[in-house]
Structure formats: structure tokens, C-alpha cells
Amino acid sequence: MELKSKIAFCEGKNFWETKEFPQYGIPSMFMCDGPHGLRKQEGVNKDYLGVNDSRPATCFPAAVSTACSWDVELVGKIGSAIAEEAADQGVGIFLGPGVNIKRNPLCGRNFEYFSEDPYLAGKLAASFIKNAQKNGIGTSLKHFACNNQEFKRLSSDSILDERTLREIYLTPFEIAVREGKPKTVMCAYNKINGVYCSDNKELLTNILRGEWGFEGLVVTDWGAMHDRIASFKAGCDLNMPGGSNYMEQKVLDAVARGELDEADIDRSVQRVKKMVLEAQQVLKNKTCCDYDAHHELARIVAEQSAVLLKNVDNILPLKKEQKIAFVGDMAKDMRYQGAGSSHINPTRLVHPADVLGSSVSVEQADVAVVFAGLPSEYESEGFDRENMKMPQEQVKLIEETAAKNPNTVVVLFCGAPVETPWADKVKGILYMGLPGQAGGEAVRNLLYGVANPSGKLAETWPIQYSDCPSATYYPQWDAQYREGIYVGYRYYDKADVRVRWKFGFGLSYTDFAYSNPQLDGEMVRVTVTNTGNCPGAEVVQLYVAPPQDGIHRPVRELKRFTKVHLEPGESKEVSFSLDERCFSVWDNGWKVPSGSYTILAGGNPDKLIVAGAVEKSGEVVKIPDWQPGSWYENPKGSPSLEQWETMLGRKYVPYTSQKGKFTMNDTVTDMKRHSLVMRIMYLVVKRIISKGTKPDTAEYRMLLETSAGSPLRSLQISSGIKEKFFKGILAMANGEFIQGIRILLKK
């Protein structure tokens, strides 16, 4: 291949496909979203926000739900079912799973991610990937890395210290890469400590490939390419979507000048070629794909992922002979998936009302079941929630129902925690998350005890938003990771803040007892018994409580878990083996500080039993000079900017965009404040969007935030419009009107 073709090969052909080169026997390959089911767009209109039509595919429960199953095997089955559908629809790579950490409950995209805990997220993703790829279809682990807010998601700078980066934000990727071996990893839009992920050699080569042994290809998130020269050097292989020839001439010039080694491009070419040819082999053979069986799997997953949060007087399961009132619009129209690139056109859709039978009036009912949650316009890719509240009318409906009927149960549909000031007024709460296309059948089976809830929360539910450590500074233009490693339960435990429901919490229709804990070297054993009257499954969680007298550490951290199914009266011994990483901190490498580590096990965070203590005469990890008396030693509330800067070891310099100095990294939204041209551009974008979507919908807001909020270079890549257009309006926005016109008119 000549150099120009090589560069071209490392950019897609169009929105979803790679370029074919028939003269070299290279076909094109189709990619599509996503993590919870396929979104294959075959029509003329393509988008990366799930707005235009896609082929029907099974809509599985979203990661917010599947994570609550804590069941690696089950999550693996979703991976392999999606891969079967991918093979059936001619897709070589599908874009998921997403393992970004749920740093703050308001992130609009939390529903697509697994957990606030890196170990849980990593293990589930690894199993998803391994099973999805077992017949050769590839996955794309995303969004690498530190893309934890939707505000400015296409350009923000994630600023954090190395320990937090390693222990919290990179760990899920590390586990998923080492164990799952994804064929591709998707680099995120944002910068990390000033360097765009696409250009980040430390991230994409030194850590991902060097340390973790990744052998696959790095693809950009759609429109995330920053500097094609730097990105070739960094090990970012494929620029998507294609069609813009982004920076092609500049790359040619850089090679000619000797600034970029052609070998860097060759390496990426080889990776793209390998991926495409492997997919061609796999897709050659027609395999069977049973969409009915996948619907059944979606139901089972929804059942196994539901979390029973409250069950006073065993109000659930409902009895056949009881008269039930089914209340709330979500009975007929449940929220079952999130908005954005993961949006699926389901093969079927079963709402609770379709299968629950008739409802009696509110007054005659033995039990009232209210279906409530977050409407789709509240949470979506593209923007963050403004608060943690449910719509006022839904709260009112729950409270009014509970006032009329003391036996009220709430079935909740939402992709992230909400404030539940009504929780004490109802007897039962069943959390369904976003349960996918078979959610209605799953709800029926759970309510009537055909299925027994066995999910545990994969994230903490605070009482109110202001309890979150990052509440006062999330989200910002630059993402300031001030709370460091104290994310989710790591913070609430250490700060001793009462929460509504803890990470790892979930009830069952049966009871489990723990006995005979043993610690033998680094082997932990514990016996679990089903002491109730019906079969059930229990998630056994193992936490390590590290010493608190050295370098600051969380009170306890999840290090192992498993799910066991038990008949009434049945007991099983569960065993876990620990390794060095269970005790480690990041301090210029993984190190085990010496001291006594308590091992805790159990099915509910409040009832853990002690299995013993492991004594480590490991290394001396120095207490940082700034630690004594700091927020990190004794966290309460939000850390201040100064406290964070002291921990970070440097001053934080906020980004400012300035007229005269605008670049292709600036967005229409930001520049419009200073530029008439950009105000006009904004109105044009708004007009185009409002032609196809209604204002006040999640879709409208997502489209507006994503297009007007895209750096100009991302708009160039995604739209395929010529560079000179963007350079022209950029010059105008910078006050160089004539120069802008000249650029626009240039042939």
C-alpha cells in the first residue's frame, strides 16, 4: 500500500464501516453499538445518538440492571447472545461494554455503566467480553478512560492524581483487558491531565499494551480524534466515523518531514487489517440466531437483576387471591432502556400491564402497586441530570396511594439512584433499573414470586444528592476529581454518612445464614445456608478492610464475590482465593503496605462476618507529607479546591476559551458568547435539530448538546463537511472576518 492509502485505511469509510481495498483482498467491516443490544443502522440516516432507525434486535437490560445481578455467568450470556445477533446481522465488532466508574449519580450516562466499584465493573465486563468473543465476533471496551460526566464530555479535561487513576478509574479496564482480551478498546473524547485520550501514549501504549498486554486495536470514540499525528505515535489505530480524511495531508507532510515514523502508521494498518480479516472469516459462516430465546434470556436477566429494597410484613410476593390495584403510567409504558447511542429497536416489548391482568380501583385493593421512576427526558447520553429527584407528580402519586392504602408497593424504573423521601411510607420497593424488552414479564414473575429477587445494588443510594462528596463541584468544565479514591461506598463508609441503601444491599423472599468462616493462608471459606421457605440466590461478597494507620485507605474494599443458588435448607461452602492485588495500593507501582487486613464476608453490607485477618509484612509505603489532618485522612463533605491541590501537588489552572485564541477544540456553544458567527451557527444547528425532534425531549437536548457542544474538529469528523468550512468560521469567530471569507472561498 502507498502511504496515502495506509493513512486512509486507518479511518473508516463512513459512519459504521471500515474501508475496503479489494486489490489487497481487504473487505469493509461493519461496527455498531452497543452494550445492551445491537443498533445496526442500514438506512440513509446514520447517527451516533440512537435517533434514526436501526434493525430490530434484542434489547437486554441496561448495565445499571445487569450489574445488580452480580452474576458473571449471566452477564456472559448477554455478551454471547449479542454476538450471535451481530453475526446474524453481519457486524464484526459491537461497541461495548462500558466500564466507566459511576463517580456521581447525576452522570447522564450512568445507566450504561456497571458500578461505582472497579472490581465489580471489571469482572462483569471481562465475562461479557470473553463470552461475546468466543466465536470470533469482537467487542469494544469503552470509554477509555475517565469519561465520567456528560457535560463537556467531548472536550473536558479529567484532572486527577495517579493513585486515584490507577485504583479507581483504570482498574475496571485493566481487569477487562487482562481477563476478557477485547479485540478493540475505544478511546474516550476527553483529556486526562491535559492530554486527549486519542493522543495519549502513556494510556494507549505504555499502560494498555505495555503493562496489560493488550494485543488488539484502539478505535476512537465517534469524533474523538484530536491530532492524527500524535495519535499514530500514541497507538490509536482507527479514526471513526470515516469520510472526512481528517488531517490526511498533515500526516503525509509529517512523514515527509521525518516528524512521524511510517512504522507507526504500519503498525496501525496491521491491526486494522487483522481485525477486518478475522471478522471476514467469522462472518463467512452463517450461524443460527434464536431471537425468541434471546427474549427469554432478557427476561431471566431482568429477573435476576432486580433488587428488592424493602419488604415490610412480607408484602411481596403478592398472592393470587389478593385484589391488586396497579397504579401509574409506567405500568403501561415502563422505562426499559436509556437514550443515546445504546438505544435499541427491540424485537418485542412487554410492559407490565400487558401481562399483569386486571386492576381493581385504588379503594378495593388489598395491595396497591405503583409503577414509577425517571421519565426518559430526565436521563440520557449527552447531558447530566440536574438533580436526583423524581418528577414531583410521581412522588405525589406514590404518597397519595400510600395515604389511601397502607399496603403500597413501588416498582421503580430508573437508570440511576433517585431521592426517595417516600420510602418510609410504603411497605415494599422493587428496583428494576432499566430492565429491557422483557421487563414486563420479569416484573410479573417477581411480584408473584415465580422469580425470587436476588440482585444487590451495584452503587450506593444516598439519602439526598448533597450527601455525595462531589456534589458541590460536579460537573465542571474540567472534571476535577477532588474526592480522589473516595468514590461511592469508599466515601460513605469512611465519612460515616448514612445512606438510603448501601452498595451490595438487596433482600430476597427467603433468608440466608452464614456460618463456619475460615481463613487458611489466603484462602477464605464460608458456608451459606438458605434458611427460608423458597429457592433463592445469594450474592456472597468478600471485602478486605485494610490497616488505617498508614497511607490513607478506604474502610473496606470489595475484592471477591460470587452468586450461589440454594434450595430451602440447602447449604454450600463458598471459597475465594486472595492475591497480592487484594491488599495493594498504587504508589508508583502496586505495593502492599504492611499491617493487619481483616477479611469480611456476607450477603449484606451491614451483616458481614469476620473470616479472620491476614498479616502482611509487606512494604513500607510512606505516608504522604500532606496527609496528616487532611480531608483524605478524615473525609467529610466535599474537599475544597485547596485541599485537592495540596494532594495533587500542583495548582489547578482552569481552562478559558478566549476570542482571538479559539481553536478547532472549541465548541459552538462556548464561542457563541463572544461571536456573532457562532450565534448564527448555533441557531442553524438548533433549527436543523428541531425539524426532526420536539424540544423538551431527551433526544432534542442530547442532539443540541452533542452537536453545538462538539469541538469543531469533532463536527468536521462526524459531519464529513470540508475542513475549510470550519477553519473559515473559526477565523471569523476569532474576529478575522475577511480571512474567514477567504478560507471559505478557497478552492
Q: How near is the Cβ of 142 to ligand BGC at its closest, in Å? A: 5
Residue closer to ligand BGC (CB basis): 535 or 720: 720
Residue 337's identity, in one-letter code, is Q
Residue 701 backbone dihedrals phi, psi, to 5 degrees? -65, -40
CA distance 469 to 354: 42
Residue closer to ligand BGC (CB basis): 39 or 427: 39
Q: Which residues of 258-271 are buried (b: 16+ CB within 10 A; e: fewer)?
A: eebeeebbeebbeb
Residue closer to ligand BGC (CB basis): 306 or 339: 339
Neighbours of 322 (CB within 10 A): 12
Residue closer to ligand BGC (CB basis): 226 or 559: 226
Burial of residue 289 (CB within 10 Å: 0-12, 13-18, 19+) is: middle
221 is catalytic: yes
Residue closer to ligand BGC (CB basis): 93 or 668: 93
Q: Is 341 in the site for ligand BGC (CB under 6 A)?
A: yes
Supply the DSSP string of 29-50, one letter for each residue.
-BEEE-TTS-B---SS---SSS
Residues 48-87 contacting ligand BGC, CB under 6 A: 48
Which is catalytic among the residues 33, 71, 161, 221?
221
Question: What distance lies between CA 668 and its chain's CA centroid?
Answer: 27
CA distance 32 to 39: 6
Q: How near is the Cβ of 52 to ligand BGC at its closest, in Å? A: 11
CA distance 597 to 547: 6
Cα angle 125-131-134, degrees, rounded to a multiple of 5: 135
Residues 107-146 contacting ligand BGC, CB under 6 A: 142-143
Burial of residue 95 (CB within 10 Å: 0-12, 13-18, 19+) is: buried
Cβ neighbours of residue 497 under 8 Å, at least 6 residues apart? 462, 467, 491
Whats the size of the chain, residue-wise? Answer: 747
Residue closer to ligand BGC (CB basis): 236 or 443: 236
CA distance 322 to 137: 48
CA distance 99 to 187: 12
Q: How near is the Cβ of 607 to ligand BGC at its closest, in Å? A: 38
Q: How near is the Cβ of 476 to ligand BGC at its closest, in Å? A: 20
CA distance 190 to 184: 18
Phi-psi region of 444 (alpha: psi -120 to 50; beta: other; left: phi over 0): alpha
Residue closer to ligand BGC (CB basis): 100 or 452: 100
x-or-dash string of contact with ligand BGC, 20-49, rule CB under 6 A:
-------------xx-------------x-
Residue closer to ligand BGC (CB basis): 143 or 701: 143
x-or-dash string of contact with ligand BGC, 613-652, rule CB under 6 A:
----------------------------------------
Q: How near is the Cβ of 53 to ligand BGC at its closest, in Å? A: 14
Residue closer to ligand BGC (CB basis): 44 or 653: 44
CA distance 467 to 419: 11
Q: How near is the Cβ of 92 to ligand BGC at its closest, in Å? A: 15
Q: Is 17 in the site for ligand BGC (CB under 6 A)?
A: no
Residue closer to ligand BGC (CB basis): 200 or 341: 341
Q: Where are the beta strands (DSSP E) in 115-187?
A: 138-144, 157-159, 184-187
x-or-dash string of contact with ligand BGC, 159-188, rule CB under 6 A:
------------------------------
Neighbours of 611 (CB within 10 A): 23
Q: How near is the Cβ of 49 to ligand BGC at its closest, in Å? A: 7
Contact 429, 484 (CB under 8 A): no
- In the set 64, 91, 95, 681, which binds ligand BGC (CB under 6 A)? 95
Residue closer to ligand BGC (CB basis): 35 or 346: 35
Q: Is 221 in the site for ligand BGC (CB under 6 A)?
A: yes
Cβ neighbours of residue 197 under 8 Å, at least 6 residues apart? 144, 145, 187, 188, 189, 190, 191, 203, 204, 224
Q: Residue 244's closest CA among 665, 664, 707, 719? A: 719
Q: How near is the Cβ of 34 to ligand BGC at its closest, in Å? A: 6
Residues 266-285 contacting ligand BGC, CB under 6 A: none
Phi-psi region of 373 (alpha: psi -120 to 50; beta: other; left: phi over 0): left
- In the set 70, 119, 151, 222, which binds ligand BGC (CB under 6 A)? 222
Q: How near is the Cβ of 145 to ligand BGC at its closest, in Å? A: 13
Q: How near is the Cβ of 196 to ligand BGC at its closest, in Å? A: 15
Q: How near is the Cβ of 447 to ligand BGC at its closest, in Å? A: 34
Three-state SS across 429-475? EEECCCCCCCHHHHHHHHHCCCCCCCCCCCCCEECCHHHCCCCCCCC
CA distance 443 to 320: 15
The footprint of ligand BGC on this chain (CB under 6 A) covers a number of residues equal to 9
Q: Is 383 in the site for ligand BGC (CB under 6 A)?
A: no
Binding site residues, ligand BGC, CB under 6 A: 33-34, 48, 95, 142-143, 221-222, 341
Active-site residues, by number, are: 221
